[in-house]
């Protein structure tokens, strides 16, 4: 334990010295140093906007100069900086700023093909790009993106990821008729997608006043939560739901109308 703590302290001391050397020798003018320095500052500072701006400018200047794998890492770093701010800043202006920034980064990354690795676009990146666009209500752009990049997804996840995000698009518009059609006919191969699909269905039935369908879905949702998850964990020990409690929970959850944040 003492050795581990000592090594961690040493690494922190070395980091401080490296940062100081970069500043003393003005090494931020060296592209390979400056871009990572700005990235570190953007991730570590409490007020990162200025550092993030320098990171973005350095990235734009170095497009095509770094290997694609390194540009992918830099782009992921910039995305994670935005997502951290989206998830921690509650001011409306800050949320809008960082969501707009991450959307632009995703679009630039697509244009530069930095997200494509061995001819494949990760379904997680696909989901996050769609979610960023939906957060800004860029519905037409998102619909085009989903179709254009569908064939670059892994074949085993392709249809499920495409249909889930298409359903999310119509749910957010809102076009409940088309969303309902997609959500009730598609089979999603991701546990989180299954959960979110049921959340969207609950909201649709609630908003449309479809009480019978809502009651039925609440019952099936309870069964879904009780079954083994398939991810190596036992099903949660849930108490028997009381009908009144179910309706109260539905009202509380659905009435808020909040949407989840994107996550990388």
Furthest-apart CA atoms within the chain: distance in Å:
70
When comparing pLDDT for 116 and 4, which is higher?
116
> Which of 59-68, 72-81, 185-194 is predicted most confidently?
72-81
Q: Alpha-carbon distance 30 to 37, whole Å?
A: 10
Residue 250 has pLDDT above 60, yes or no: no
- Which pLDDT score is estimated for 26? 67
In which band, very low, low, confident or very high, does the pLDDT at 229 lie, cut at 50, 70 and 90?
low
Q: For 219, what's the count of Cα atoms within 13 Å in the CB-facing half-sphere?
A: 7
- Which pLDDT score is estimated for 262? 53
Q: Alpha-carbon distance 205 to 185, whole Å?
A: 16
Q: For 185, what's the count of Cα atoms within 13 Å in the CB-facing half-sphere?
A: 10
Task: Give the torsion sign (CA, 249, 225, 196, 212).
Answer: negative
CB atoms within 10 A of CB 26: 10
**How confident is the prediction for the chain on average, in pLDDT?**
81
Instruction: Find tokens 């007020």 and name the residue.
Output: 47
- Which pLDDT score is estimated for 255? 45
Choose the weakest-confidence range: 92-101, 113-122, 168-177: 92-101
Q: Backbone phi, then psi, for 252, in 5-degree steps?
A: -65, -45
The 3-class secondary structure across 112-148, one letter per residue, is: HCCCEECCEECHHHHHHHHHHHHHCCCHHHHHHHHHH
Residue 254 has pLDDT above 60, yes or no: no
CB 167 within 8 A of CB 182: yes
- Which pLDDT score is estimated for 24? 72
Q: Backbone phi, then psi, for 173, in 5-degree steps?
A: -60, -50
Choose the weakest-confidence range: 144-148, 152-156, 208-212: 208-212
In which band, very low, low, confident or very high, does the pLDDT at 12 lie, cut at 50, 70 and 90?
low
DSSP assignment letter at 239:
P
Task: Compute the average pLDDT of residues 73-102.
Answer: 89
Taking only Cα atoms into account, the Rg of the chain, rounded to an integer number of angstroms, comes to 22
Task: Compute the average pLDDT of residues 70-77.
Answer: 92
- Which pLDDT score is estimated for 8? 41
In which band, very low, low, confident or very high, does the pLDDT at 228 lie, cut at 50, 70 and 90?
low
Q: How distant, in Å, are the alpha carbons of 1, 22, 36, 44, 45 from that of 8?
A: 11, 21, 21, 17, 20
Residue 95 has pLDDT above 80, yes or no: yes
Choose the weakest-confidence range: 128-132, 134-138, 165-169, 219-223: 219-223
Residue 256 has pLDDT above 90, yes or no: no
- Which pLDDT score is estimated for 258? 41
Residues in contact with 41: Cβ distance below 8 Å, sequence separation at least 6, in sequence order: 48, 51, 55
CB 81 within 8 A of CB 42: yes
Q: How distant, in Å, are the alpha carbons of 43, 96, 263 from that of 85?
A: 9, 10, 11
Helical H segments across the chain, by residue range: 2-24, 31-44, 49-62, 68-88, 92-112, 123-135, 139-149, 155-172, 176-185, 191-208, 211-226, 243-256
When comparing pLDDT for 232 and 171, which is higher?
171
């Amino acid at each position: 334990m003492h050795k581990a703590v000592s090594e961690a302290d040493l690494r922190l001391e070395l980091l401080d010295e490296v940062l100081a050397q970069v500043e003393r020798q003005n090494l931020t003018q060296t592209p390979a140093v400056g871009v990572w320095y700005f990235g570190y500052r953007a991730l570590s500072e409490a007020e990162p906007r200025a550092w993030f701006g320098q990171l973005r400018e350095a990235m734009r200047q170095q497009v095509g100069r770094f290997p694609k794998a390194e540009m992918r890492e830099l782009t992921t770093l910039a995305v994670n900086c935005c997502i951290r701010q989206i998830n921690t800043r509650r001011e409306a202006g800050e949320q809008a700023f960082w969501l707009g920034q991450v959307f632009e980064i995703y679009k630039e990354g697509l244009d530069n093909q930095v997200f494509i690795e061995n001819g494949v676009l990760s379904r997680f990146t696909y989901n996050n790009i769609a979610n960023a666009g939906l957060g800004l209500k860029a519905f037409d752009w998102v619909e085009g993106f989903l179709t254009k990049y569908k064939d670059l997804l892994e074949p085993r996840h392709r249809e499920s990821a495409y249909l889930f995000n298409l359903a999310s698009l119509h749910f957010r518009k809102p076009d409940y008729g088309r969303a309902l059609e997609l959500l009730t006919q598609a089979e999603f191969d991701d546990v989180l997608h299954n959960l979110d699909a049921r959340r969207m269905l609950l909201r649709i039935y609630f908003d449309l006043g479809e009480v019978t369908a809502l009651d039925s879905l609440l019952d099936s949702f309870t069964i879904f939560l009780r079954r083994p998850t398939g991810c190596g964990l036992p099903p949660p020990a849930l108490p028997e739901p009381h009908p009144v409690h179910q309706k109260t929970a539905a009202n509380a959850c659905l009435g808020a109308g909040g949407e989840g944040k994107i996550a990388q």
